[in-house]
Amino acid sequence: MKAAIPTFIIKRPQVFGFVIFIIVFVLTEYLTYQRYLIAKDNEQVEVLHEINSVKDRLKTALNYDLTAAKTLAFIVENYGVPNDFDRVAKAILSSNKNIDAIQLTEKGVITHVYPMKGNEAVIGYDISADKNTKAEAWKAFIKKDIYFAGPLKLKQGGVAVIGRLPIFRDSVFFGFSAIIIKLPTLLKAAGIDTLDNTNFIYQLSKVNPSTQQEEFFLSNSAQFDKEQSVSIEVPDGAWKLYAMSKNKNRFYDTIIFSVLGFGLSLMFALFAWYLAKQPEKLNKLVEEKTAQLITIQNSTNTTLNRINDGMISLDNEWRYTFLNDAALATHPKGREETLGKVIWDVHPELKGTIFWDKYHEAMQTKKVIELESNYDPMGIWFLVKVYPSQDGLTIIYTDISLRKKAEEENIITTEKLRQLTSRLQNIREEERTRIAREIHDELGQQLTGLKMDTSWIEKKVVEKDQSLQKRISDMISLIDDTIITVRRIASELRPSILDDLGLITALEWQTQEFEKRTTIKSIFKNNTSDFNPERELSTTIFRVYQEALTNIMRHAHASLVETTIEIIDNYISLIIKDNGRGFDVNEGKNKNSLGLIGMNERVLLFDGILIIESQKFKGTTISLKIPLFKKE
């Protein structure tokens, strides 16, 4: 039985055509708007990725600059204000190209600055008396850590960021160690090109502590649109960094599709008007269009259901609005029984968990949240990403159990390799001890007996045979040299003094031997008493000390070595300092130096820490810290 066609369609085809025009126009404009939103979201993702990259570069530059402020603060805290401030400041600046000047204040008054040229106007300037600088200087004092003030106009001209680190001497506030980074220098370090970048527009702002108004610092206000930009906070200086895309294609595409939608709507209206005169054809067309809409809807649901990751959507009232097929695995009641229900009613066990906290955080802050958790009855690990929007939350969770299992297996494998290394080192030390003992006892005794027999022969030889007497004397000298060599080899394999007299005596003996062989003045300080650790720990400390001295002899070109051993809070501390030419520690790590790797692995076997600090032409310090009692 065919459906009846309303009478007004037959009598008033123009009205029907107009209605169709409105419907199709609204539909096409809606689809155009959705396409616009998708393009905008993709653009926002691109801008967000770019702005996070800029933020990372900015934080890296500021953290690197922090070293200069800490170096000056350390010198002042421990040694007072250096008389040769310019030389010290120049040395600090030479290692950091991102700093334009360095200052020192006593209380709030600037007393020293380098370079002086161009900065003379700031000497004697009291930052605590100026409302433009007092508030942010006070933040550094309260924080007791560096705080980057500005950007602000400098007294000597220009705009810059000033990082101030409070200095305390004997727990009393002394002043600030300050670094000045001019705005162009900071932007260059962060990789922000405000003029020539063809893809993005950047802006940097900060709330003025006096006026509480947001101020912008980059000279592109005409191009910058705050509403179209993405922003993130830079906590080290309480700044806000904006970025927006220069891409205009999204707007033009929207206009084009909107015009096409209007034309399409007009065509449909004319077509509907034509069909209104032919009822049977119109009914058939309606059926076809309905089928197409159903197909589109089914196709959309099919696409989302093919995703392997679980995906759910919640509205602002925490009610389910969508679940794909993968999400149904954690919703046994099914899609129909879950949609429209509040998530905390469906999963009451989530209340008070990390999911409760993170979902609420995302809903309140409208920021993307990412977390890993194994909150699951089967112990399955999930990577959960929460994407907030004006309509609620979209949650996508991925099973990462295989990755977590691989990480755990990697940890177990690493531990087994370290245990094997420990075993091999113990076997090596035992073998070296055995060989050293056999060389010292057996070969040494045999050489001693050979010397005695040779000396007896020398006495029996007729004095007139001088050539024979000289030959025998040379043999005795050679035997003496061989005995010394045998003792040296045995000592290098395993010093008997380490087993007989203990670690401290062995370290003192090694220090003396090192000074004899190299003529490098060596000082050994023992701040322990009655200290003799177990054999394996003694061997580890002694071998690390040997390797450190070997490296100094080969590479350092030092004239002085100072070694200190002491016990602090149930930890053995061994510090070795030299005044040699130093080296780049990161470069040494990148070259995978076997000596450094071996030292570090020995220490790790005893849950210890090995720290190597060095600067070119400023010497090297090796710090070893091992607990007296190894954890099982």
- Residue 553 is classified by DSSP as I
User: Model pTM?
Assistant: 0.35
- 289-293, 360-364, 372-376: range with lowest mean pLDDT: 372-376
Helices 13-79 and 183-190 meet at what angle, rounded to 10? Answer: 110
What integer pLDDT is reported at residue 301 of this predicted model? Answer: 65
Query: Which two three-digit tokens encode residue 607?
Result: 């849950």
Q: Looking at residue 23, what is its pLDDT?
A: 84
Contact 32, 258 (CB under 8 A): yes
Across the chain, mean pLDDT equals 76
Phi, psi of 333 (to 5 degrees): -75, -10
Percent of the chain whose pLDDT exceeds 70: 73
CB 98 within 8 A of CB 60: no
Tell me what pLDDT residue 317 has.
87
571-614 pLDDT tens trace: 888 999 999 888 887 776 655 566 677 777 778 777 888 888 98
What residues have CB less than 8 Å from 283, skipping those under 6 apart? 2, 3, 5
Q: What does the alpha-carbon distance between residue 115 and residue 225 come to, in Å, rounded to a whole number?
A: 39
250: number of Cβ within 10 Å: 15
pLDDT score at 217 = 67
151 prior amide bond cis, ω within 30: yes
| pLDDT greater than 50 at residue 539 | yes
Instruction: List helix spans (H) across 80-130.
Output: 85-94
**Range among 348-352, 407-411, 568-572 with highest mean pLDDT value:** 568-572
Q: What is the mean pLDDT of residues 285-300?
A: 72
SS3 for 356-367 is HHHHHHHHHHCC
Which stretch, 204-213, 287-296, 428-437, has highest mean pLDDT? 287-296
Give φ, ψ of 444 to 5 degrees.
-65, -45
Question: Looking at residue 1, what is its pLDDT?
Answer: 42
Contact 32, 261 (CB under 8 A): yes
Tokens describing residue 522: 């060596």
In the chain, pLDDT over 90 holds for what percent of residues?
Answer: 3
- Residue 75: pLDDT band (50, 70, 90) is confident
Residue 624 buriedness (CB in 10 A; 0-12 / 13-18 / 19+): buried
Cβ neighbours for 159, distance < 8 A, ≥ 6 positions apart: 150, 151, 152, 153, 182, 183, 217
- Is the pLDDT assigned to residue 146 strictly greater than 70? yes
Distance CA 511, CA 515 (A): 6
In this structure, of 23-27, 194-198, 512-516, the range with the lowest mean pLDDT score is: 194-198
- The whole-number pLDDT of residue 433 equals 60
First to last CA, the chain: 85
Tell me, what's the pLDDT at 2?
Answer: 45
Give the CA count within 13 Å in the CB-facing half-sphere of 103: 31
Residue 100 phi, psi (nearest 5): -90, -30
Q: Tokens standing for 38?
A: 């998708």
Q: Measuring CA to CA, how many Å separate 259 from each of 27, 252, 253, 264, 271?
A: 13, 11, 10, 9, 18
Q: What are phi and psi of 158, to 5 degrees?
A: 95, 170
pLDDT at 147: 81
Mean pLDDT of 482-500: 67
What is the spatial distance between Cα 623 and Cα 563, in angstroms, rounded to a whole number? 10
- The residue-averaged pLDDT of 453-461 equals 70
Compute the radius of gyration of the chain from its Cα atoms: 39
For residue 205, the number of C-alpha atoms closer than 13 Å in the C-beta half-sphere is 19
- At residue 405, the pLDDT reads 76
pLDDT bucket at 491, cuts 50 / 70 / 90? low
Q: Cα 114–119–120 angle (5° rounding)? A: 105
Listed in order, strand segments (DSSP E) in 498-558 are 521-526
Q: Which residue in the block uniquely carries the two structure tokens 């100094």?
A: 552
DSSP state of 329: G
Q: Identify which of 593, 521, 595 has the alpha carbon closest to the alpha carbon of residue 558.
A: 521
Of 35-39, 183-187, 222-226, the range with the lowest mean pLDDT is 222-226
**Window from 87-91, 265-269, 318-322, 437-441 with minimum mean pLDDT:** 437-441
Q: Which has the higher per-residue pLDDT, 337 or 489?
A: 337
Predicted confidence band at 196 (pLDDT cuts at 50, 70, 90)? low
Run of H or E including 322: strand 320-323
**pLDDT > 90? residue 492:** no
Peptide bond into 115 cis (omega under 30): yes
Identify the pLDDT of residue 116.
85
The confidence score (pLDDT) of residue 92 equals 83
What are the tens digits of pLDDT across the range 506-522? 888 889 888 988 889 99
**pLDDT band for position 223 (50/70/90)?**
low
595 and 547 Cβ atoms separated by less than 8 Å? yes
Instruction: Quote the crossing angle between the two packed helices 249-275 and 13-79, to the nearest 10°.
Output: 160
Looking at residue 224, what is its pLDDT? 62
Among candidate residues 196, 136, 141, the one with its CA nearest the CA of residue 162 = 136
pLDDT for residue 578: 92
Q: Which residues pair with 373 in a beta bridge?
A: 382
DSSP letter for each residue of 191-247: T--TTT-SSEEEEEEEE-TTT--EEE-SS-TTT--GGG-EEEEETTTTEEEEEEE--
Alpha-helical segments (H) within 80-174:
85-94, 131-143
pLDDT for 9 equals 53
Task: Copy the structure tokens of residue 105.
Answer: 């204040």
3-class SS letters over 257-279 = HHHHHHHHHHHHHHHHHHHCCCH
Which of the listed ranges 251-265, 419-433, 458-472 does the model predict with the highest average pLDDT? 251-265
Angstrom distance (rounded) from CA 580 to CA 603: 24
- Nearest alpha-carbon partner for 505 in 481, 534, 538, 475: 538
Is 260 within 8 Å of 279 (Cβ atoms)? Answer: no
Tokens found for residue 351: 């209340």
Reported residue count of the chain is: 632
> What is the rounded average pLDDT of the residues 127-131?
78
CA distance 94 to 575: 28
Bin 92: left if φ > 0, else alpha if -120 < ψ < 50, else beta: alpha
